[in-house]
Amino acid sequence: MARKGEQFAGLTVAIVTPFKDGKVDEAALRKSVDWHVEQGTNGLCPVGTTGESPTLNHEEHNRVIAIVCEHAAGRIKVMAGTGSNSTQEAIETTRFAKSCGADGAMMVAPYYNKPTGEGFYQHYRAVAEAVDIPIILYNIPGRTAKNMEPEVVARIAEIPNVVAIKEATGSMDQASQTLAMTNLTVLSGDDSLTLPLLSMGGSGIVSVVGNIVPGDMLQLLKAWKAGNVAEAQKWHFKLFALCRDMLGIATNPIPVKIAMKMLGRDTGELRLPLTPLSESEEARLRKTLVAYGLLS
């Protein structure tokens, strides 16, 4: 079965929002876009979870989307984070992303207010009818406090411009149900589960670890697409410890920003309520980066 949304297959990196002295570091953001173009990354997702969207004010949120779209200039796809627990706010942000030239809008399931299945459906339908742009669902119940069940996702998938889903439930059973019940392009929301999801019919990853080693994740995807299972497994196991540290040492995006700082690619600055790693956590992360071959 052909899946809608295949233009978003491959590696999309949920990029960090660089800060300097408490403000968005616009120069560093542009540099990040250039770096991903050079690395061959297929797409960028600004202002997602990894981009610290919860602590960006509305002006900053829109500014980050505008900079990434403007600087991408068609060289790389942009899947802008436009979700909200307010439907009207989601409509406004999605309209703005479209006006900037975003290729798609990734919309997290409304968080905190815990809608019913009907509420989820009406939320996405309202945005889809208001803004003619490809919409990528983002289901991450560990953060939103409410899972979008496969039956709900299947109903939302009938909306024409809903084309893909970032599947971050951590449940392979749910991912399997979503693949079976819809024709959405299914993207992994967990780096370490990319290969298992590909084996069931998934099409790619919205990645955190891609901020550090996009080329290696691309190699995994390339090997799988070529039918070279052993090569894909090799990359899976090479990436595994690094992927787990990005989520296991502390809340995302704390570890990835500190890792980028260690690698000379970010200030490592975070916004409260996120705080830096402890000395022992930082030592553990450094050890993983050394073992991977990124640091000596």
- Asked if residue 105 is part of any domain, the answer here is yes
- Asked if residue 240 is part of any domain, the answer here is no
* Statement: residue 246 has pLDDT above 70: yes
166 counts as catalytic: yes
Compute the average pLDDT of residues 175-181: 97
Compute the average pLDDT of residues 264-268: 95
d(CA 13, CA 176): 23
DSSP collapsed to 3 states, the chain: CCCECHHHCEEEEECCCCEECCEECHHHHHHHHHHHHHHCCCEEECCCCCCCHHHCCHHHHHHHHHHHHHHHCCCCEEEEECCCCCHHHHHHHHHHHHHHCCCEEEEECCCCCCCCHHHHHHHHHHHHHHCCCCEEEEECHHHHCCCCCHHHHHHHCCCCCEEEEEECCCCHHHHHHHHHHCCEEEEECCHHHHHHHHHHCCCEEEECHHHCCHHHHHHHHHHHHCCCHHHHHHHHHHHHHHHHHHHHCCCCCHHHHHHHHHCCCCCCCCCCCCCCCCHHHHHHHHHHHHHHCCCC
- Asked if residue 264 is part of any domain, the answer here is no
- Asked if residue 168 is part of any domain, the answer here is yes
Instruction: Give residue 116's domain range.
Output: 6-227
- Asked if residue 295 is part of any domain, the answer here is no
Q: Give me the catalytic one of 77, 98, 146, 166.
A: 166
Query: What pTM does this model have?
Result: 0.96
Convert the pLDDT of each residue in 219-235 to its tens digit.
999 999 999 999 999 99
Domains in the chain, number: 1
- Asked if residue 285 is part of any domain, the answer here is no
| Residues 263 and 212 sit within 8 Å (Cβ to Cβ) | yes
d(CA 270, CA 283): 19
- Asked if residue 284 is part of any domain, the answer here is no
* Statement: residue 2 has pLDDT above 90: no
* Statement: residue 1 has pLDDT above 80: no
Convert the pLDDT of each residue in 95-105 to its tens digit.
999 999 999 99
Band (80; pLDDT cuts 50, 70, 90): very high
- Asked if residue 203 is part of any domain, the answer here is yes
- We report the CATH number of the domain holding residue 20 as 3.20.20.70
Joined together, the tokens standing for residue 229 give 């299972």
Q: Give me the catalytic one of 138, 222, 225, 292.
A: 138
Model pLDDT, residue 179: 97
